């Protein structure tokens, strides 16, 4: 009898709980398959990538680390294949008014603060045209200027897609000089230099320049960036540290480009030939390829014989973009100088780029919720809160094929922040 009563109590207690759990699971499975397309699109005819399909998910809940919603994002991630063929972007930009309207380029207002503080961008890209467009849209302001440098090895479809973007947006242009870019070689640095030269001769009187690659994404709205950059008061923002003995090998010996049998095509290979010391007794510093530099710094660099000599000396070093900028900002007397006596500025101290390295996870930052590629984290949706609150301006790497929810939520949050910071300011908006 007692056993019977116990079983009845257990059933009453257990079955409702089980039903609740099953209900949640069913809802997750059903809702994960549900996607919606914005009402202004005509799905059968509009040449829209699945990158722009909006998933039925709460970004607020993702940001708040709600376990059910984060779990839902994981289900969507497993089930969703993002179509991002470059040809469809070519078709899309074939009708510029429609492209600008659908992607919201024509709806962007500019505050007085933004108007007097234009920003320049150098985008060095080589694949995934839809991801480049999403990056461009995320950093876009009618008041800024954007140089796109595509790799001469890029596919014809990618090149056409980039030209389509530049033809539809008056403040976006293709670099006048293009490089065949090889990993860790001088060509990567020259790609940025080509854009910088073009930006300097443009009509836009931009205040700062920021360089980006195709898997970067902003963590700050344009209004926030303007505020942060004004706070620099002409100084530079980038990683610059004293090199370890291991890193010194990159410029103590000559490197030669040699054929590689995998995706990089060619790689710099170390020779036994020692290099001469850097010209003009320059003290070497190392960092990464990312920079935020003032117009005055770029003007100085463009006319300096010391910089020209240093660039020529760097031709046969390994990954010169990782010492070139880090060293130049330490030169005495340069605009925005970082004094050589100043301590190292690490990647976590510089706000230019937030990157998670696999071997530092759980030590310096929480583990990657996406995937690792060559020890670098491709971020997942569970990192949304961490990314937006760490304090950096941009992060790397993102891929909608790895996690479409994170990019959707970042776009949503950036739009919210832009509107919030513009609230109460005098705005110039498009007519109509």
Give 266-280 pLDDT, tens digit per residue.
Answer: 999 999 999 999 999
Look at the pTM and tell me if it is higher than 0.95.
no
Residue owning tokens 């993102």: 398
Every domain of the chain and the residues it spans: 2-84, 85-432
pLDDT at 432: 59
The answer to whether residues 89 and 130 touch, using CB atoms and an 8 Å cutoff, is yes
Burial class (CB in 10 A: 0-12, 13-18, 19+), 21: exposed
112 a catalytic residue: no
Residues in CB range of 166: below 8 A, 6 or more apart: 148, 172, 173, 174
Which residues of the chain fall short of a pLDDT of 50?
A: 1-4, 6-47
Judge whether 428 and 108 are in contact, CB under 8 Å: no
Cβ-based neighbour number of residue 49 at 10 Å:
20
Is 113 within 8 Å of 428 (Cβ atoms)?
Answer: no
* The pLDDT of residue 49: 60
pLDDT of residue 201: 98
Give the pLDDT confidence score for residue 66 in this predicted structure. 98
Q: Is 136 helix (H, G, I), strand (E, B) or coil?
A: helix
pLDDT computed for residue 26 by the predictor = 36
Assess contact for 375 and 103: CB atoms under 8 A: no
Q: By the 8 A CB rule, do 43 and 62 touch?
A: no
313: left (phi over 0), alpha (psi -120 to 50) or beta: alpha
pLDDT of residue 82: 59
pLDDT at 6: 42
What is the rounded distance in angstroms from the CA atom of residue 430 to the CA atom of residue 142?
A: 10
pLDDT number for residue 400: 93
The tokens for 62 are 């993702």
| Set 133, 322, 383, 411: catalytic member | 322
φ and ψ of 297, to 5 deg: -65, -45
pLDDT of residue 7: 45
Q: What is the pLDDT of residue 84?
A: 76
């Amino acid at each position: 009898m007692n056993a019977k009563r116990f079983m009845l109590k257990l059933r009453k207690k257990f079955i409702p709980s089980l039903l609740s759990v099953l209900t949640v699971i069913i809802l997750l499975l059903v809702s994960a398959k549900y996607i919606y397309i914005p009402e202004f699109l005509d799905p059968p005819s509009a040449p829209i990538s699945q990158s722009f399909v909006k998933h039925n998910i709460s970004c607020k809940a993702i940001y708040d680390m709600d376990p059910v919603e984060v779990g839902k994002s994981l289900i969507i991630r497993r089930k969703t294949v993002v179509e991002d063929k470059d040809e469809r972007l070519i078709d899309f930009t074939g009708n510029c008014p429609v492209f600008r309207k659908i992607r919201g380029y024509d709806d962007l207002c500019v505050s007085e603060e933004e108007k007097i503080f234009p920003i320049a961008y150098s985008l060095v890209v080589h694949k995934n045209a839809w991801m480049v467009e999403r990056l461009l849209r995320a950093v876009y302001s009618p008041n800024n200027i954007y140089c796109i440098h595509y790799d001469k090895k890029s596919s014809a479809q990618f090149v056409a897609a980039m030209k389509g973007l530049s033809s539809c947006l008056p403040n976006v242009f293709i670099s006048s000089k293009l490089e065949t870019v090889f990993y860790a070689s001088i060509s990567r640095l020259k790609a940025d230099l080509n854009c910088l030269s073009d930006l300097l001769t443009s009509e836009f009187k931009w205040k700062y320049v920021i360089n980006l690659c195709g898997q970067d994404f902003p963590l700050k709205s344009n209004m926030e960036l303007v505020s942060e950059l004004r706070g620099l008061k002409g100084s530079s923002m980038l990683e610059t540290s004293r090199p370890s003995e291991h890193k010194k090998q990159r410029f103590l010996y000559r490197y030669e480009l040699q054929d590689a049998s995998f995706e990089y095509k060619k790689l710099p290979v170390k020779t036994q030939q020692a290099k001469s010391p850097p010209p003009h007794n320059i003290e070497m510093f190392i960092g990464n390829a990312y920079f935020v530099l003032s117009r005055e710094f770029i003007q100085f660099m463009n006319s300096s014989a010391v910089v020209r000599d240093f660039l020529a000396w760097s031709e046969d070093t390994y990954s010169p973009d990782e010492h070139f900028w880090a060293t130049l900002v330490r030169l005495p007397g340069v605009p925005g100088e970082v004094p050589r006596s100043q301590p190292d500025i690490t990647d976590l101290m510089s706000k230019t780029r937030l990157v998670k390295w696999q071997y530092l996870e759980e030590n310096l930052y929480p583990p990657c919720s996406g995937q690792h590629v060559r020890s670098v984290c491709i971020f997942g949706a569970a990192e949304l809160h961490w990314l937006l609150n760490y304090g950096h301006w941009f992060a790397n790497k993102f891929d909608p094929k790895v996690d479409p929810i994170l990019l959707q939520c970042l776009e949503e949050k950036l739009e919210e922040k832009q509107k919030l910071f513009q609230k109460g300011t005098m705005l110039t908006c498009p007519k109509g």
